[in-house]
Structure 1
Amino acid sequence: MTRILIYEDNTQLRDVLSILFEGTPGFKLVGAYPDCRHVLTQVRQAEPDVILMDIDMPGISGIDGLRAIRAAGFKSKVLMLTVFDDNKNVFESIRAGANGYILKKTPPAKLLEFIEDSLNGGAPMTSSIASQVLNMFAAQYRSGTDDFDLSQREQEVLNLLVDGYSYKLIADKLCISMDTVRSHIKKIYDKLQVNSKSEAVAKALRNR
């Protein structure tokens, strides 16, 4: 059973999430709170596998609550569940130790997938957030702060990925085969020392 702990000050959403996890096989709701003023005591008692953390809550923000969780040494996966999609909140959340960043408009079925992804070592993010982070990453590359030894073609492939192109559209745009696109992307991941898009996103945030 995956143990879920919720921090959400919106009563209606907190109730909806509670019903979702109480009614889904394989999940167990171990707590649902409107703020994280007593987060350390609650996490210690509940022993959650995954914490869904709102950002804008009364008293202590979700990001500060996350910092307290990490400072205390708790290893639970923490997924920020929020309406905020700005760079500052995304970046500060990942720096504080978040394992993912999900917008509240995410459908329930997708939310369950994101939770499973985090438990399997992924860094789940709503697609619009991932795209934003990749844009931040590409901007860093173009600024010359760290070129990661990418070739000109690899840079072109990365920029097209950031712009939302599929593998097929990249192949068409650059007049290369799908296999060549996959080869370039594998080399990009190797040079960034990541194994997936999720890891690339997390690394980009942690290193600006």
Structure 2
Amino acid sequence: MFKFKYDRSMPIRVCVYEDNQPLRDALSLLIQTTEAFELVGAFGDCHQVEQQIASLRPHVVLMDIDLPGVSGTEATLRIRRKFPATDILILTVFEDDDRVFEAIRSGATGYLLKKTPPVRILAAIEEVYEGGAPMSPNIARRVMHSMHRSTTPSDFDQLTPRESMILALLAAGNSYKMVAAEANISIDTARTHIKRIYEKLHVHSVAEAVAKYLKR
């Protein structure tokens, strides 16, 4: 059984977009039967995504990429433009660089493959809600490799070595708590560093910071 790291007075509201009905039903059941999660909607397409998000107000959206009509990437962009406080966690079979980076640039907060175990999906929803950017291990590796290939020192010369390390940890999918542990600092200190990273890179979220880091 999945256990939350933190006590909550209100559930994490989750909405699912998945066109494969058996998988959509399985994800819905997983969320419905997990304490402190609330399933607020499950849909097979994103034709009405803006209206649905406005009405349901989820904290986290589980989003497939290959959806009929409106792709998950396009839907992610629409959600982020109108509802910036809503986090989008991609859950897909695609792991090629183009789709990964397109999703991140569109505003996705995390990127998981569908082969991810159910307990990890639940943990990733919580991590997203807590400010992290979870990714499947091989996706995180692709992101890190791309950073090394495409980023020049002058792009981020305002960042201190500690801030650069923290940004790399965030890009690898670590939550704020995990970043603090890896950097051997308190979570409040980690949040202060992250705030400074946002200011120096002129961004407002982990996803934007990672996307800027990946920009070619």
* TM-score, normalised relative to structure 2: 0.71
SS at match of 1:135: helix
Instruction: Structure 2: state its 5+ residue gaps.
Output: 1-10, 174-206
In structure 1, the partner of 2:7 is none
Residue aligning to 1:121 = 131
Partner AA of 1:76 in structure 2 = T
2:28 is matched with which residue?
18
In structure 1, C-alpha distance between the alignment counterparts of 2:210 and 2:39, rounded to whole Å: 32
Match of 2:47 in 1: 37
Q: Give a deviation string over 1:82-110, Cα, whole Å, max 9, x none.
A: 11111111111111111111111110111
Structure 1 position 119, deviation (Å):
1.1
In 2, Cα distance between equivalents of 1:77 and 1:204: 15
1:100 is matched with 110
Q: Would you say the 8 A contact 1:194–1:200 is kept in 2?
A: no
Q: Assess if the C-alpha contact under 8 Å between 1:36 and 1:65 holds in 2.
A: yes
Cα pair 1:91 1:206 within 8 Å, conserved: no
- Note the 1:36-185 alignment, pairs <5 A: 36-141=46-151, 144=152, 146=154
Equivalent pairs counted in the alignment come to 168
Is 2:211 the counterpart of 1:205? yes
Structure 1 or 2, whichever has the larger Rg, is 1
Distance 2:53 2:84 in 1: 8
8 Å CA contact 2:49, 2:75 repeated in 1: yes
Q: CA deviation at 1:189?
A: 3.9
The equivalent residue for 1:2 is 12
C-alpha displacement of 1:196: 5.9
Amino acid of the structure 1 residue aligned with 2:37: F
Q: Which amino acid aligns with 1:198?
A: L
Q: 1:4 to 1:73 in 2, by over 3 A?
A: closer
> Do the aligned residues in 2 keep the contact of 1:189 with 1:200 (CA within 8 Å)?
no
What are the superposed Cα offsets for residues 7-43 of structure 1, whole Å, 9 maximum, x if unpaired? 0001111010011011111111110000000001111
What RMSD in Å do the two structures reach over aligned CA positions? 2.1
- Whole-angstrom CA distance in 2 between matches of 1:188 and 1:68: 35
| Residue type at the aligned position of 1:48 | P
User: Once superposed, which parts of structure 1, at least 4 consecutive aligned residues long, lie more than 3 Å away?
Assistant: 144-149, 193-196, 199-205
SS, match of residue 30 in structure 1: strand
SS at structure 2 position matched to 1:194: helix
**Aligned to 2:111, what secondary structure does the other structure show?**
strand
Q: Which amino acid aligns with 2:169?
A: K
Contact 2:135-2:172 at 8 Å conserved across structures: no
Report if aligned partners of 1:134, 1:204 keep a CA contact under 8 Å in 2: no
User: One-letter code of the match for 1:111?
Assistant: I
Closer/same/farther in 2, CA of residues 189 and 8 from structure 1, 3 Å limit? farther
